[in-house]
Chains A and B, each alone.
Chain A
Amino acid sequence: MPIKADVQLDAKGLACPMPIVRTKKAMNELTEGQVLEVLATDKGSKADLVAWSKTVGHQYIGTTEDGEVLAHYIRKGNPETTEADEKTFAQTISNERIVGKSGIVLDVREAAEYAFGHVPGAISMPMGELEARMKELDMDQEIYVICRTGTRSDMAAQTLSNAGYTKVYNVLPGMTGWTGELETSI
Chain B
Amino acid sequence: MSNKVAIIASNGGLFDAYKVFNIATAAAATDKEVQIFFTFEGLNLIHKQAMHALEMPAGKEHFAQGFADANVPTIPQLVEMAQELGVKFIACQMTMDVMGLTSADFVEDIEVGGAVTFLEFAKDATPTLTF
Contacts and interface: CB of A to CB of B under 8 A. Distances in A.
Contacts of B29: 17, 20-21, 23-24, 52
A150 B31 CA distance: 28
Contacts of A24: 29-30, 85
B22 A17 contact: yes
Interface of B: 22, 25-26, 29-31, 70-73, 81, 85
Interface residues of A, number: 14
Interface string A1-25: 0000000000001111110110110
A159 B81 CA distance: 45
A21 B85 CA distance: 9
Tell me if B's interface is mostly helix, strand, loop or mixed. loop
A17 B70 CA distance: 12
A55 B25 contact: no
Contacts of A16: 22, 26
Nearest to A22: B29
Contacts, number: 33
Contacts of B71: 13-15
Given A16-B22, A21-B25, A52 B73 contact: no
A56 interface: yes
A21 B71 CA distance: 15
B70 A56 contact: no
Nearest to B24: A17
A56 B73 contact: no
A18 B85 CA distance: 12
A20 B73 contact: no
13 contacts: A14-B71, A15-B70, A15-B71, A16-B22, A17-B25, A20-B26, A20-B30, A21-B29, A24-B85, A48-B26, A52-B29, A52-B30, A56-B30
